[in-house]
Amino acid sequence: MPELPFSDPTDVETSTAPSDFASASSFRPQRQDNDPLRKAMFIGLAIVLLVFLGSMIAVLLMHAPRL
């Protein structure tokens, strides 16, 4: 089998990264989409949470009437 000619790489060639290495990524960049449905759901959940907490406070402040 014939030997293939390879050049020995120097330390400088093997230690440097490509110039675009910092921005290289195998993942697609994510877009920042304004999703009105997601925002509406978070607002609705916040309102439901506030109503629930208010009702729990009201229950804790209740007391039985005097007989």
The single-letter DSSP state of residue 65 is P
The whole-angstrom separation of Cα 23 and Cα 29 is 11
- pLDDT, tens digit, 9 for 90 and up, residues 31-48: 777 788 999 999 999 999
Single pTM value for the model: 0.48
DSSP sequence for 39-60: HHHHHHHHHHHHHHHHHHHHHH
The pair of structure tokens assigned to 11 is: 């330390």
Count of positions (residues) in the chain: 67
pLDDT confidence of residue 28: 72
pLDDT confidence of residue 42: 96
Mark the ranges of the chain whose per-residue pLDDT is less than 50: none
The whole-angstrom separation of Cα 32 and Cα 26 is 19
